[in-house]
Structure 1
Amino acid sequence: MRIQETRSEGFTLLVKDFMIRKVFTIKATNTVEELLEILNCNRIGGVPVVDEKDNLVGMVSDGDVLRYLSPKPLGFAGLVYLIEEGELEDVILEKLNTPVKEIMTKRNVLSVSPDDEFETTLRLLSRHHYKKLPVINGAGRVVGVLSRGDIIDSISKIIISRDKQTSQKISNK
């Protein structure tokens, strides 16, 4: 992990120090079924949606899929659900052929750069309650992802490493 030194604050952690470089993506024309396969096989909760040049066009998450597949409430206080013609399984199977572009987030998709300060990213994740942020290079291509779980894991490793170094310094005295 590389830490960039700054004059005013000592050390600054950068997004590239924490980002996941092995990024799973999907195209807007892929189906919800293909999306579910990517999410399930890789045990992830969301992916960037990219065009043919790997430029970011949106984000899609397991939450988007659940909202799309769930029955829509109708009637008084949402207590009555209308199941479209056929059984629930049939409806879900039919919806699996829907293109990802129909359920993805297209507007106001936040992203960060590999050289952005980590503190800025933490603020974005906490303020907007996102689970993942795509990392975009200067050409607009997706080069990484930051997830809350991986950030917590990295922070824990830094703290543990620092505590071990402190313990070693004390024992060497």
Structure 2
Amino acid sequence: MKAHDIMNRHVYKVKENDTVRSVIERFMDHRISGLPVINDRNEIVGYISDGDIMRYIGRKSDRVIGNFYYIAVMRDQEEMDVRVKQILNLNVLAIAKRKVITAQWDEDIDQIAAILGKRQIKKLPIERDGVLVGIISRGDVIRHVFRSVT
């Protein structure tokens, strides 16, 4: 069995000039946690996940914390609010991973499973001739492998 046999051909994706706001909207609208980032030629130029957004929101800036706990909490909340507002208008490529792990459309399913497992990723964009043509999740592999033996 090959990647093109089980891949989802309807791929939610974002363009390289989209904002993080549009990414979060797609996450919520489609109940997903990651998206390939493509250019105008449908080539994969990045991948953004909910983890990338969490890392950005959760980062700490260098600052001096006041003597009282409530001052530190207020500063933390104020900084969080600022970071959240800033991130919404960022270009998606400002926080997306640029080195994207992909597989070819004619890759064997056992290789797809090995990549997903070894790299500890949830979804794998599938390319053909350098263009995004599908996506395979861990669940896709598990469903197809176990259907074939039962």
TM-score, normalised to structure 1, is: 0.73
Larger Rg: 1
- Match of residue 3 from structure 1: none
What pairs up with 1:9-20 in 2 under 5 angstroms?
Answer: 13-20=1-8
- With a CA cutoff of 8 Å and minimum separation of 6, indicate the structure with the bigger relative contact order: 2
In the other structure, the counterpart of 2:137 is 147
Paired position in structure 2 for 1:127: 118
Pairwise CA distance, 1:53? 1.0
Question: Given that residues 58 and 104 in structure 1 are in contact (C-alpha distance below 8 angstroms), is that contact kept between their aligned partners in structure 2?
Answer: yes
Given candidates 21, 24, 43, the residue that maps to 1:55 is: 43
Give 1:96's aligned residue. 88
Contact 2:57 2:80 in 1 (8 A): no
User: Which segments of 5 or more consecutive residues in structure 1 lack a partner in the other structure?
Assistant: 1-12, 163-173
Shift of 1:110: 1.6
AA in 2 matched with 1:101: L
SS across alignment from 1:72: coil
CA positional deviation for 1:85: 9.0
How many residues align? The count is 142
Contact 1:72/1:82 (8 A) holds in 2: no
The Cα RMSD (Å) is 2.4
Where is the helix percentage greater, Structure 1 or Structure 2? 2
List runs of 5+ in structure 2 lacking aligned partners. Answer: 64-71
Normalised by the size of structure 2, how large is the TM-score? 0.83
1:1-173 alignment runs, 5 A limit: 13-72=1-60, 83=75, 86=78, 88-107=80-99, 109-138=100-129, 140-159=130-149, 162=150
User: 2:16·2:39 contact (CA, 8 Å) conserved in 1?
Assistant: yes
- In percent, how many aligned pairs have the same letter? 30
Q: Distance in 1 between matches of 2:73 and 2:115?
A: 36
* Cα distance, 1:90 vs structure 2: 3.7
